[in-house]
Each structure stands twice: as C-alpha cells, then as structure tokens.
Amino acid sequence: MRICIAGAGLAGAVLVWRLAGAAPQSWRIDWYLGTGAAGDGTGGERAAGNGAAGGTARDATAVSGGAVRAYETDLDQRALAAQSLAELLGSAVLRDWAGYRAGAAVSLRPSRDGLETAAAAINAVLPGSAHVAGAAELAGLGFAGLPPDAAAVVEAAAGWVSPARLRASVLADGAVRRRVRLVPGLFRPLTPRPAGAEHDLVVLATGPWTPAVLARAGLPAAGYRTKAIQYAVHPVAGGLPPQFVDGLTGLFGRPTGDGGLLLGLPTDRWDVEPDRPPADPALPAAAAELARARFPGLRLGPAGPPAVGCDCYPGPAAGGSGLALRPVPGVPALFTFTGGAGASAKTALAASRQASARLLAAGPDPQPTPAPTEGRR
C-alpha cells in the first residue's frame, strides 16, 4: 500500500506524522515537500515584491499567528479545536515541538447567546478552562467601549504556538521514519501514470495552491478559494491585553512573548495569487486604531513590517469550511486536506487524526490514481 501526501505545510506534515505512527507496516508514504512556493520547497519565506513596504509573503504555516484556543463559532471547528488543544497540553513532546506558550484567551461576542453552552462544551474536554465573562470582568481585563450586552468566552487553557516550528519538528521526525520517503522538489500538477505505477491514495495538502493544482489537472476546483492573510507586530510600553478575538470589529491580537503585540484584521482580498498575495498598507493603521479604542490603556508603538500570506478556504461546493479531508469528485482515492486560516493551527491535530483514520479505512483502490511528478515548475 503506497500513499502520497503532497505538501509540507502544517496540515500535510501532521497528517504524515499521524499515518507514520498508525498505518500498518506494509504502508509506504511518499511525502512531496513542495507546494508551489519559491525557496526550498517547504513553504519558506520569500520577498513579497508586491508593495508590502518591507513585509514578507509566506505560506500559511509560516504566516499563521499560531493562537490556540477552543472557542470557535462553528460547532464542528470548536470540537476539533478543543480536542487539538487537549492533545497539545497533554503531550510534553508536542508542546516542545510547537514552542507552546501558555496564555488566557478572550473571545468577545455581541451577546451571551450560546456562550454558556459553548463554555460547557469546552469544559467537557478541558475541565475548568472556560467561563463566560460580562462587562465588569472584561473591563478589568482592559476592554472598553463595549455594548451593554457584550460578553466573552474566557479560556484559561489557551496560548499560542509556532506552526512553523511544529512543521519543522514533524519534518525532522518524518525524515527518520523508514516507511516515509521524503521527496524534495516542488509539487507539480497531477499527471496520469501507467497502471501499476500509481499510488493507492493521493492527498493534496497543498494549501492555497490547491485550486491551481486541481484546475491544471482538469479537476473540479470551484469550491476552493484563496484569501490573503495579514498582520503586524507592534512594540508596547506597559501592560498587554490577553490573546483576544473581537467578534464585534474583527480585530484579533495576542502577546508575542517579547513584549510586543500581534494585531490584525481579516482581509477582503479573495482569489489572490498564492505566490504573490497582495499587502494592504492601510490595514496595520486600521488595526492599531481599533486596538487603541478597545484598550484605552494600551500604548502601541509603530507597526513592524506586515506579515503577508495566503490560505485556502473551502466553500459549500467543496463540502464545507475548516480543515478536513475531502474527496475530489470523479477521481477515486484522490483527496484534498486543506482549510484556512493560517494552516488551521487550532484544529490541525484533531483534524489530522480524523483524516488519518479515514485514509486507513479507505484502503487501496483498484483504479489507478493520478500522482504528482517531481521537479520544479
């Protein structure tokens, strides 16, 4: 049994790690490390070249802010995030691999509707972590300008990781596993091969390059869209707010661990070129203005160069949002494994466990499956 995993972002790396640890001895895993980015084929940094004023354009794993918490508005994603966080906190190896740093998380919402239920669901997986905070508690955490009905899920068991460090650790682990064959070189579009020379299963963990890979092979790609990611880090004098997501304005932020504050806003730049995601020079100032209004005691310094990247967002036509294994219609034994944002750092562990179980249950397919070819584009 031979399986191909194409893509060395966090999603692909953790999926290979799962399969290498759970698959029968007869399975062999060919891990193609390139996804279409320039550099070393692992999604490394490259100069943006897009007017980013000194910013860098990177793959979704490298540009992810790495915040980990359990609360998500989507129920399925919330369950995956809670399970992933529980596994991370329960494993000293994973915490070390990921460079985990503990810190509370605040998810601000316009009202308390559904928040008690959400907190209870989180506590069922992470006992005692979550509670619902009202205006008085939020004011004590530095929040201001909130509507009277606003509330938040506050999680004690949260923090942030380095998805790039976790990817590198998993890559190093995969390199010494006998059943894993690392293929350097960038990933190219799917091409037919003679029967008997194909992989039994093929997974495209190719992140924002997924739509292009599918389209170039003449396969359905309409359900997948790319979207730009951007944030900047500010120096801060004085106290820092906790990790937060402001569901009223879209603003998100977290401490950086060295006295800085990562701040960002969701972009509206869809269907961007993965190798050249556009930077919005106005976004850092807009995020800083919202942050100063939300945290009046915050003393922000000027933003550093923006971090700019791109991720893939599956829509209804692809079978829903979030990181998940999805079959490609009309092609037996071909799957995608992608779902923004930021390589889904919060859900990758649990999502990869589900994907691995599904692949192990799928088994060989009697029909030959297209496979990627080696070499640069």
Contacts of 92 (CB under 8 A, 6+ apart): none
| Mean pLDDT computed over 57-65 | 75
DSSP state of 306: P
Contacts of 260 (CB under 8 A, 6+ apart): 233, 234, 235, 236
- Domains assigned to the chain: 2-44+163-224+313-362 (3.50.50.60), 62-161+226-311 (3.30.9.10)
Q: Which DSSP string corresponds to 307-374?
A: EEEEEEEE-GGGT-SSSEEEEPTTSTTEEEEE--SGGGTTTHHHHHHHHHHHHHHH---SS---B---
pLDDT band at 196 (very low <50, low <70, confident <90, very high): very low
Instruction: State the Cα–Cα distance between residues 257 and 315, nearest whole angstrom.
Output: 35
For residue 135, give the 3-state DSSP assignment: helix
Q: What per-residue confidence (pLDDT) applies to 85?
A: 97
- Tracing tokens 């049994």 back to the chain, one arrives at 1
Instruction: State the Cα–Cα distance between residues 373 and 32, nearest whole angstrom.
Output: 9
HSE of 261 in the Cβ direction (CA atoms, 13 Å)?
27
Kindly state the tokens that stand for 315: 């829509």
| Mean pLDDT computed over 116-136 | 97
Residue 373 has pLDDT above 60, yes or no: no
For residue 116, give the 3-state DSSP assignment: helix
| Percent share of the chain, pLDDT over 70 | 85
pLDDT band at 188 (very low <50, low <70, confident <90, very high): low
CA dihedral 211, 213, 218, 219 (to 10 degrees): -60
Residue 267 has pLDDT above 80, yes or no: yes
Residue 324 has pLDDT above 90, yes or no: yes
Number of H helices, E strands in the chain: 10, 20
Predicted confidence (pLDDT) per residue in 152-161, tens digit? 999 999 999 9
Q: What per-residue confidence (pLDDT) applies to 289?
A: 97
Predicted confidence (pLDDT) per residue in 22-54, tens digit? 888 889 999 988 754 333 333 332 222 222 333
Q: What per-residue confidence (pLDDT) applies to 319?
A: 76
For residue 152, give the 3-state DSSP assignment: strand
- Tracing tokens 């979030």 back to the chain, one arrives at 322
Rg (CA), the chain: 21
* pTM for the full predicted model: 0.87
Give φ, ψ of 6 to 5 degrees.
-105, 120
Residue 368 has pLDDT above 80, yes or no: no
